[in-house]
Amino acid sequence: MEGLPILSLMMLAPLAGAAACLFAGAAAARWIALGATLVTFVLGVVLWSNYQIGGPQWQFTEEANLFAGFQYKLGIDGIALMLIMLSVFLMPVCILASWESVQKRVGEYMAAFLFMEVLMIGTFAAQDLFLFYVFFEAGLIPMYLIIGVWGGDNRIYASYKFFLYTLFGSVLMLIAMFWMVAEAGTSDIPTLMQYSFPAGAQTWLWLAFFASFAVKVPMWPLHTWLPDAHVQAPTAGSVILAGVLLKLGGYGFIRFSLPMFPEASAQFAWLVFALSMIAVVYTSLVALVQTDMKKLIAYSSVAHMAIVTVGLFAFNVQGLEGAMIVMLSHGLVSGALFLCVGVIYDRLHTREIARYGGLAINMPYYALFFLLFTMASIGLPGTSGFVGEFLSLAGIYQTSSLVALICTTGIILGAAYMLYLYRRVAFGGQVNEDAAAMRDISAREWVMMAPIAAAVMWMGVYPESFLAPMRADIAVLDARLAAAAPAGDAKLAPGAPRAAAANAMPHHEGSETSSAKEGAH
Amino acid sequence: MEFAASFALVMPELVLIAAGLVLLLVAAWGGDKAARLIAIAAAAALFAAGLLLVPGLHFGVDGPATLAFGGLIKVDSFALFAKALIYLAAIGALMIAPPFFDGPSAGSERGMRAEYPVLILFAAVGMSIMVSANDFMSLYLGLELNSLSAYVLAAILRRDPRSGEAGLKYFVLGALASGILLYGMSLLYGFTGGTSFTAVRAGLTGEMGYGALFGVIFVLSGLAFKISAVPFHMWTPDVYEGAPTPVTAFFATAPKVAAVALTARVVFEVFGGQVAAWQQIVMFMALASIIFGALGAIGQENLKRLLAYSSINNIGFILLGLAVANADGASAMLVYLFIYVAMSLGSFVALLMLRGEDGALFETFADIRGLSVTQPAIAWALLLFMFSLAGIPPLLGFYSKFVVFQATIEAGLVAFGAIAIAASVIGAFYYIKFVKVMFFDEPAGVVTGKSGAAHWVLLGLTALIVSPLGYLLTPSLTDLADKAAASLFLTV
Residue A181 has pLDDT above 50, yes or no: yes
What is residue A1's predicted lDDT score, i.e. its pLDDT?
47
Residue A4 CB contacts under 8 Å (≥ 6 apart), including other chains: none
Instruction: Measure the CA dihedral B392/B396/B398/B400, to 10°.
Output: -150
The predicted-structure confidence for A373-422, as pLDDT tens digits, reads as follows 999 999 889 899 899 999 999 999 988 888 899 999 888 999 999 999 99
B positions 298-317 inside 8 Å of A (CB): none
Residue A510 has pLDDT above 70, yes or no: no
Mind telling me how many Å the CA of B344 is from chain A's nearest CA?
20
Q: Is beta strand B73-74 parallel, antiparallel or unpaired with respect to A72-76?
A: unpaired
Q: Is B442 on the interface with A (CB under 8 A)?
A: no
For range A184-205, the mean pLDDT? 89
* Cβ pair B274, B282 in contact under 8 A: no
Residue A55 has pLDDT above 90, yes or no: no
Q: Is B14 helix (H, G, I), strand (E, B) or coil?
A: helix
Would you kindly state where each structural domain of chain B is located, as residue ranges? 1-488
Q: Are the Cβ atoms of A67 and B405 closer than 8 angstroms?
A: no
The predicted-structure confidence for B313-338, as pLDDT tens digits, reads as follows 999 999 999 998 888 899 999 999 99
What is residue A518's predicted lDDT score, i.e. its pLDDT?
47
Q: Is B406 on the interface with A (CB under 8 A)?
A: yes
∠ CA B358-B360-B366, nearest 5°, is: 115
Q: How many CB pairs under 8 A join A and B?
A: 95
Q: Are the Cβ atoms of B432 and A171 closer than 8 angstroms?
A: no
Q: Is A361 on the interface with B (CB under 8 A)?
A: no
Q: Is A67 on the interface with B (CB under 8 A)?
A: yes
Q: How many Å apart are CA B418 and CA B426, to the nearest integer?
A: 14
Average pLDDT, chain A: 87
Chain B residues whose CB is inside 8 A of the A137 CB are 392-393, 398
Residue A201 has pLDDT above 50, yes or no: yes
* Cβ pair B297, B390 in contact under 8 A: no
Q: How many residues does chain A have?
A: 521
The predicted-structure confidence for A275-333, as pLDDT tens digits, reads as follows 999 999 999 999 999 888 889 999 999 999 999 999 999 888 899 999 999 999 999 99
Chain A residues whose CB is inside 8 A of the B410 CB are 178, 182
Classify burial at B120, counting beta carbons within 10 Å of its beta carbon; exposed 0-12, middle 13-18, buried 19 or more: buried
For range A70-87, the mean pLDDT? 91
- Could you tell me the pLDDT band of residue A16, with boundaries at 50, 70 and 90? very high
What is residue A516's predicted lDDT score, i.e. its pLDDT?
46
Q: Are the Cβ atoms of B393 and A137 closer than 8 angstroms?
A: yes
Splitting chain B (492 residues) into consecutive groups of 10 residues, what average pLDDT does each group show? Answer: 82 93 92 88 94 87 82 90 94 89 75 89 94 92 94 89 91 93 93 89 84 90 90 90 92 93 91 86 92 89 92 93 89 93 93 84 86 88 92 90 91 88 88 89 81 89 91 90 86 53
Q: How many Å apart are CA A459 and CA A381, to the nearest integer?
A: 11
φ/ψ (deg, to 5) at A382: 100, -15
What percent of chain A clears pLDDT 90, i.e. is strictly above it? 40
* Cβ pair B95, B454 in contact under 8 A: yes
Residue A190 has pLDDT above 60, yes or no: yes
Q: Is A23 on the interface with B (CB under 8 A)?
A: no
Q: In whole angstroms, how far apart are CA B369 and each of A104, A150, A223?
A: 17, 16, 31
Residue A488 has pLDDT above 80, yes or no: no
Q: How many Å apart are CA B178 and CA A107, to the nearest integer?
A: 54
What is residue B372's predicted lDDT score, i.e. its pLDDT?
87
Tell me the ipTM for this assembly.
Answer: 0.91
Q: Are the Cβ atoms of A163 and B428 closer than 8 angstroms?
A: yes
Q: Is B428 on the interface with A (CB under 8 A)?
A: yes
Q: Are the Cβ atoms of A141 and B392 closer than 8 angstroms?
A: yes
The predicted-structure confidence for B351-389, as pLDDT tens digits, reads as follows 988 888 877 888 888 888 888 888 888 999 999 999 999
What is residue B283's predicted lDDT score, i.e. its pLDDT?
92
Give the number of C-alpha atoms closer than 13 A to the C-alpha of residue A220, restricted to the C-beta side: 24
Chain B residues whose CB is inside 8 A of the A174 CB are 402, 405, 421
